[in-house]
Amino acid sequence: MPDKRRYPIPTRKYPPRRAIPQLVVRRDLRHNVGAMAGLVFLVMLVLAAALAPFLTPYDPLTTRPANQLQPPSHYHWAGTDLFGRDVFSRLLYGARISLLVGVLAVTIAAIPGTLLGLLAGYYEGWIDIIISRLIEILQAFPGILLALSIVALLGSGLPNVILAVGIASIPSYTRLVRSSVLTVKRKLFIRAARIVGCRDSRILFRHILPNVLAPVIVLTTLDIAWAILNASALNFLGLGVELGTPEWGVMLSEGRGYLRDAPWVSVAPGLMLTLTVLAINLLGDGLRDSLDPRWRA
Amino acid sequence: MRFKNIVFSAIGLGLSLLLTACPAQPAISPATPAAPTAGGKLIYGLTLAPSGIDPHVNASSELGIPLTSVYDTLVYQTADGDFVPGLATEWEISDNGLVYTFHLRQDVTFHDGTPFNAEAVKFNLNRIADPETKSQKAALMLGPYDHCDVVDEYTVKVFFREPYAPFLDSLSQVYLGMASPTALEKWGADYQMHQVGTGPFMFKEYVPQDHLTLVRNPDYNWAPAIFNHQGPAYLDEIEFRFFVDPATRALALEAGEAHVIGEIPPQDAARLEDNPAFKIVAVPIPGQPLQAFLNTTKSPTDDLRVRQALLYATDREAIVQAIFREYSPVAWGPLSAVTWGYNEAVVGQYKYDPARARELLDEAGWQDTDGDGIREKDGQRLVVAAYLMSWGYIPEVATLLQSQWKEVGVDVRSQQVAYPAALEAARLGKHNLILFNLAGSDPDLLRGFFHSEANFNWAKVNDPQLDALLEEGARLRDQAERQAIYADIQEKIMEQALIIPLRDYVNLNGVSAQVQDLRYDAQGWFPWLYDVWLSRSGD
């Protein structure tokens, strides 16, 4: 179709001026020792989880009762549990589940949470009232209680736990995005976009969304840690994964009765959980320091 | 190995410090021959906080542990299953089995001064049978109760609509204990907080989830002959506290927070036994062993060969050894070995034989065609759906079942559920497998599980012959005839492979060496604290 506009579109000789801060400011992050340590740990964890079958000779599910509650040794690096299963290989396979839970739960939370926040902040009025009230209802419950109720409603099982933990953290995204949208949409370039005749969807997704994404990314990182911890808590309570699944929360729970005689059964998954959550939080903090304009020098 | 040693020596050091720090726990020889001394306060740990503690209304076994000392029963049951006089000095049963006549003691008063007499018995039984009471257990234990007649002040006749053999067994339990009619009328629905019986201890205070306190009844002078002494109890006071988390029980004993705690985890029991300051009183519980009910109406367990294969594929010795250690015997049938009427013929049936299990599954048409280790038939994988409750080591047992069955090509899909959810799933028949056990001293309890109309018919069995036998067992009075019938029933249940028996329930009570003469009643759950005294050697 021929161009019917009267004025020629200026060709791009210069890169467009960016009102948006760059998403990742590498120099800042690279100098953040904590964040880098967290990142290194997480990369190693992901590799270990992916390569689990090559790193350990034991199947995480095979029971050998005759071999129960062996202390850590060069055969079993983290000992064996009540059923004679190798705790170390269960830790590696457990990392797969925990990482998966973290990423999926946060995806479930972040996408609808961000969308709702965009709509509420952009349109205000009755749409905002409805969305905000709904979110406030969700927020009235403590996260873990809300997740517990959702699991009670849907039934136990890992998919339901992921869904529950995800739903429980939708409100934080909605609120964060809504308030950012309220600020951004009053800026000149949005008005300009509207005057030029951009459709709402274009303004929302091409102009507003990139401008509110930075804090969402920070929240996502921190939220992964929260999701892993909460999913483990639900599994610890016996509401999540199926019997025998090497999930860290379940492993913690299984070892609880043997703390005196075989502390390694609980300590190993507890330590992994702590380190993983710590690593993600350090990385999240680092990201916030480098992304959040308010925190930058 | 080295790490274990370090941990052990650290624990040992801690313990020896603990022992030197508290002179109340000296080197004690477990069998102190000294004469009982009166006085002292016993702290008894309960393992579950019951929602209600009125024995006529509520069903929990946990309420019976304290309240057995508050109430006397008309008859008592010895460990051999004989019935001996309690509040009733003698009794006659009519030839048709419909009328029981009880002659009562004349020297008994309730803790509130109300005299105990025939009217009181009538009042109690009528209260239990009254639908308004909403009794969860006692009313069922009364069976086809019709009414009571007061013959004279100390003679009472109890009438039944049909013969009911387990009546004396029911009467010997705290759920049919005799409560003061005055107090029942005065407090109404709030009676559970103000209970009044005739027993050796009086109800003082109950703070739900926290503690329940009993004090000695100084006027008690009507102890049944099965006890060691007469007159008031030795202990001044008993406080019951709650230790719900199994992992904390042995620690609480070692810290001196309780003298007795039930249901000590096996691994902790082994450690306590090595410590001279404690002993383990292991009480085998009559009733059902821990067992898996197999649904006979849902594929694949609707096929007898599959059910039998699951039995053959189960290595019970390995399960018991790994989880319950040397404390629990392997179970072979629907009743535990200490239950009256237990049939020894079931012992050794379906002994672990994975080769036989594979044969049976092959015969039933289940073959592993795609090489994934799990058998298939007509495109269906051989999967059993298990509903698991979280108590009583059920998840642990199921974990081992799962891996044992995988060896023969059976997959287990499990769901952990709360008790009500398990009941619902079982009612709808969504399960292939549910693990459960119920305590009880009369084999009539099988009627509640294997009768086609039973509430807990989790095997979904519908066998008119079995129904008739179960009904007959409840009716017959002759103990030898009953025994024969129950022997038959047990064999039938195993023939049809309705259950996988796993282990006989043994309650491991951790007891301070200070506690003397602690015995348990025929139910195994309820302690006789009347004879108990605390030794103070080394004070």
Residue B449 sits in a domain of what CATH number?
3.10.105.10
- State whether residue B202 is helix, strand or coil: strand
Tens of pLDDT, residues A72-100: 988 888 889 889 899 999 999 999 999 99
Chain A contact set for B322 (CB, 8 A): 65, 68, 82-84
Of the partner residues A71, A83, A242, the one whose CB lies closest to the CB of residue B413 = A242
Quote the pLDDT of residue B360. Answer: 96
Q: Are residues B518 and B458 in the same domain?
A: no
Contact present, A94 and A246 (Cβ < 8 Å): yes
Q: Is the pLDDT of residue B482 over 90?
A: yes
B207-B208-B211-B215 Cα dihedral, nearest 10 degrees = 60
pLDDT band, residue B177 (cuts 50/70/90) = very high
Whether A243 sits inside 8 A of B388 (CB atoms) is yes
Q: How many A-B residue pairs are in contact by the CB < 8 A criterion?
A: 66
Question: What integer is the mean pLDDT of B54-67?
Answer: 92
Of the partner residues B1, B250, B398, the one whose CB lies closest to the CB of residue A243 = B398
From the list A77, A83, A88, A87, the residue with the least C-alpha distance to A63 is A83
Determine the Cα–Cα distance for residues B97 and A93; give it in Å rounded to an integer.
Answer: 64
Q: Are residues B488 and B518 in the same domain?
A: no
Determine the Cα–Cα distance for residues B279 and B424; give it in Å rounded to an integer.
Answer: 41
B431 occurs within a structural domain: yes
Tens of pLDDT, residues A211-233: 888 889 889 988 998 899 888 88
Q: Is the pLDDT of residue B392 over 90?
A: no
Whether A72 sits inside 8 A of B414 (CB atoms) is no
Quote the pLDDT of residue A234. Answer: 86
Q: Are residues B434 and B524 in the same domain?
A: no
CB atoms within 10 A of CB B182: 16
Determine the Cα–Cα distance for residues B357 and B294; give it in Å rounded to an integer.
Answer: 16
Q: Is the pLDDT of residue A296 over 50?
A: no
Determine the Cα–Cα distance for residues B470 and B472; give it in Å rounded to an integer.
Answer: 5
Quote the pLDDT of residue B35. Answer: 84
Question: What integer is the mean pLDDT of B87-100?
Answer: 94
Q: Is the pLDDT of residue A19 over 90?
A: no
Q: Is the pLDDT of residue A13 over 70?
A: no
Chain B contact set for A263 (CB, 8 A): 7
B26 occurs within a structural domain: no
Determine the Cα–Cα distance for residues B532 and B233; give it in Å rounded to an integer.
Answer: 8
Question: What integer is the mean pLDDT of B31-46?
Answer: 83
B52 occurs within a structural domain: no
Question: What rounded mean pLDDT belongs to chain B?
Answer: 90
Q: Are residues B464 and B494 in the same domain?
A: yes
B259 occurs within a structural domain: yes
Quote the pLDDT of residue A279. Answer: 93
CATH of the domain at B532: 3.40.190.10
Total tally of structural domains belonging to chain B: 3
Q: What percent of chain A has pLDDT over 70?
A: 89
Tens of pLDDT, residues B513-522: 999 999 999 9
Chain A contact set for B396 (CB, 8 A): 82-83
Whether B271 sits inside 8 A of A260 (CB atoms) is yes
Quote the pLDDT of residue B11. Answer: 46
| Strand blocks (E) in B47-129 | 75-77, 83-85, 88-93, 99-104
Question: What integer is the mean pLDDT of B112-128?
Answer: 96
Which domain-ending residue is among B164, B187, B210?
Answer: B187
Q: Are residues B246 and B339 in the same domain?
A: no
pLDDT winner (highest mean) among A291-295, B206-210, B289-293? B289-293
B25 occurs within a structural domain: no
pLDDT band, residue B12 (cuts 50/70/90) = very low
Tens of pLDDT, residues A165-201: 999 999 999 999 999 999 888 888 888 988 988 898 8
In the numeric block, the tokens 């239990």 are attached to B128
Determine the Cα–Cα distance for residues B42 and B37; give it in Å rounded to an integer.
Answer: 13
Chain B contact set for A61 (CB, 8 A): 403
Interface of B with A (CB under 8 A): 1, 3-4, 7, 11, 246-247, 250-251, 265, 267-268, 271, 318-319, 321-323, 386, 388, 390, 395-396, 398-400, 402-403, 412-417
Q: Are residues B483 and B449 in the same domain?
A: yes
The larger pLDDT score, comparing residue A275 to residue B5, is at: A275
pLDDT band, residue A152 (cuts 50/70/90) = confident
B34 occurs within a structural domain: no
Question: What integer is the mean pLDDT of A2-13?
Answer: 61
Whether B415 sits inside 8 A of A155 (CB atoms) is yes
CA distances from A153 to A146, A147, A238, B82 (A): 11, 10, 15, 49
Tell me the whole-structure pTM to 2 decimals.
Answer: 0.81
Pick the residue from chain B with its C-alpha nearest to A255: B247
Q: Is the pLDDT of residue B466 over 50?
A: yes
* Domain containing residue B257: 1-19+39-47+200-285+505-539
The larger pLDDT score, comparing residue B417 to residue B161, is at: B161
Quote the pLDDT of residue B14. Answer: 43
Quote the pLDDT of residue B135. Answer: 92
Whether B318 sits inside 8 A of A263 (CB atoms) is no
The larger pLDDT score, comparing residue B371 to residue B83, is at: B83
Q: Are residues B161 and B274 in the same domain?
A: no
Which is it for strands B383-388 and B260-261: parallel, antiparallel or unpaired? unpaired
CB atoms within 10 A of CB B17: 10
pLDDT band, residue B22 (cuts 50/70/90) = very low
- State whether residue B201 is helix, strand or coil: strand
- Angle (CA) B505-B510-B514 rounded to 5° is 145
Determine the Cα–Cα distance for residues A276 and A286; give it in Å rounded to an integer.
Answer: 15
Of the partner residues B1, B7, B396, the one whose CB lies closest to the CB of residue A82 = B396
Quote the pLDDT of residue A9. Answer: 62
B65 occurs within a structural domain: no
Hey, of B11, B253, B267, which one would you mutate to test binding to chain A, going by the most A CBs within 10 A of its CB? B267
Q: Are residues B209 and B112 in the same domain?
A: no
CATH of the domain at B151: 3.90.76.10
A188: Cα within 13 Å, side-chain hemisphere: 1
Q: Is the pLDDT of residue B383 over 90?
A: yes
Q: Are residues B307 and B168 in the same domain?
A: no
Quote the pLDDT of residue B6. Answer: 45
Whether A243 sits inside 8 A of B402 (CB atoms) is yes
Quote the pLDDT of residue A211. Answer: 86
* Least Cα separation, residue B249 to chain A (angstroms): 10
Q: Can you tell me the ipTM of this complex? A: 0.72
- Angle (CA) B348-B354-B356 rounded to 5° is 75
- State whether residue B499 is helix, strand or coil: strand
Q: Are residues B451 and B322 in the same domain?
A: yes
CA distances from A58 to B108, B293, B312 (A): 68, 33, 27
CB atoms within 10 A of CB B333: 25
Q: Are residues B280 and B312 in the same domain?
A: no
Whether B267 sits inside 8 A of A261 (CB atoms) is yes
Q: Are residues B158 and B101 in the same domain?
A: yes
Whether B400 sits inside 8 A of A259 (CB atoms) is no
Q: What percent of chain B has pLDDT over 90?
A: 78
Question: What integer is the mean pLDDT of A145-149?
Answer: 86
The CATH code for residues A75-290 is 1.10.3720.10
Quote the pLDDT of residue B159. Answer: 96
Pick the residue from chain A with its C-alpha nearest to B315: A65
Q: Is the pLDDT of residue B423 over 90?
A: no
